[in-house]
Amino acid sequence: MTSKYLRGRKIEPPAVEPNISAADLIDNHFLAYNAGRLREAARLFTDKYLNDNVTIGVTLTGALTPAGLGMSCLIPMIEAGFIDWIVSTGANLYHDTHFGLGLSLHAGSHLIDDVMLRQDGVVRIYDILFGYKVLLKTDAFFRRIFDEPEFQRTMGTAEFHYLCGKYVREREARLGLKRRSLLSVAHEYGVPVYTSSPGDSSIGMNIAERKLNGSKLVIDSSIDVNETAAIVLDAKRSGGKSAVCIFGGGSPKNFIMQTEPQIQEVLGIKEKGHDYFLQVTDARPDTGGLSGATPSEAVSWGKVDPARLPDTVVCYCDASIAMPLLAAYSLTRHAPRRHKRLYDQRSMMLEALQREYLSAKNRKR
């Protein structure tokens, strides 16, 4: 009798042919090691994440938008309804804005002398090069819009980025640009964009500068904590599932994952954890760092439903490799989904969260 361990797919791939599609390459040739994990990730995302009743949160860590991944991958996925909400570093959103302002970044080399680059007014992100004036022009854009009356109050980062996206979109229109800025497209499709550490980027630095000039703009992170928890609870209470797709790790990973402990541990609402977990990372789990923390470890915190562990994948790969392949696979293998426009539903979801919280609190008395 054949062992149960030998029931997996027989490794006997066809020869790679000219003009093969990325989706066919993944299905037929990514059979083992981290290629195998990437195939599992692509299939998990396409076969389960993209069901209509699944709410998909995506996190962005590392310099992804400067490499053009916003334009090439994230924007097409938003347009197809494959991304419902985002948690990003502020740096990704700041550098994303360069493109929406018509500013240019260039492919270069990581072997250039950085002292010479500084003398020549050039900034380097590994092998991406751009002029120092790109930073100054982007700073000036943000400072100008932060002086607008609608920014003179306290708000969470979803509302803040929605307003920023509106102004980036207006600038794109004046410049005759299309599909350049992640913030602009997120604004168009009602995809809420959160930043877990709003002071940790050039956007936050410019907010601080305007504060010294009398601005009333205040970012309240408590709004974000409750809104993101409300998004996850709404996904579950509406009869659906919550899925997280994590590129990198760091603070955005923790922020999207802490929604379940916020619901269960802090608010006292009965819940079980996220249903689907997919992470692309190059971090090891044995160092105890957040970015290498596995979905099974997350179960111990209540972040992942223990019954859903088979629906989790960790792919140890550079996100700049995995993201285009995942985008190509899902856009090839799945039809577009209905846009959930979660930004427009924030108040309703937050009210539902508060009702459940107060009900759970009263039961404990």
Digit-coded pLDDT (tens) for 198-256: 999 999 999 999 999 999 999 999 999 999 999 999 999 999 999 999 999 899 999 99
- Out of 303, 340, 361, 364, pick the active-site residue: 303
Q: Is the pLDDT of residue 326 over 70?
A: yes
If pLDDT is split at 50, 70 and 90, which confidence band does 44 have?
A: very high
**HSE value, Cβ hemisphere, 13 Å, CA-based, for 200:** 13
Answer yes or no: pTM beyond 0.85. Answer: yes
> Does 303 participate in catalysis according to the annotation?
yes
**In b/e form, how buried is each residue of 304-321, taking b as 16+ CB within 10 angstroms?**
bbeebeebbbbbbbebbe
List pLDDT tens digits, range 295-320: 787 888 888 888 888 889 999 999 99
List the domains of the chain with CATH numbers.
20-364 (3.40.910.10)
List pLDDT tens digits, range 100-146: 999 999 999 999 999 999 999 999 999 999 999 999 999 999 999 99
Nearest to 65 by CA among 194, 182, 218, 214: 182
| End-to-end CA separation in angstroms for the chain | 60
Q: Tokens 């980027």, residue?
A: 201
**In terms of DSSP H, where are the helices of the chain?**
22-29, 33-44, 69, 75-79, 90-100, 114-119, 132-146, 157-175, 182-189, 202-212, 221-237, 250-257, 259-261, 295-301, 319-333, 346-364
Give the span between the Cα atoms of 8 and 249, in whole angstroms: 31
Order of strands across the sheet with 312-316? 193-195, 85-88, 54-60, 241-247, 276-281, 312-316
Give the span between the Cα atoms of 69 and 228, in whole angstroms: 24
Q: Is the pLDDT of residue 9 over 80?
A: yes
- pLDDT value at residue 64: 96
Tokens encoding 96: 């994303």
Average pLDDT, the chain: 95
Q: Is the pLDDT of residue 1 over 70?
A: no
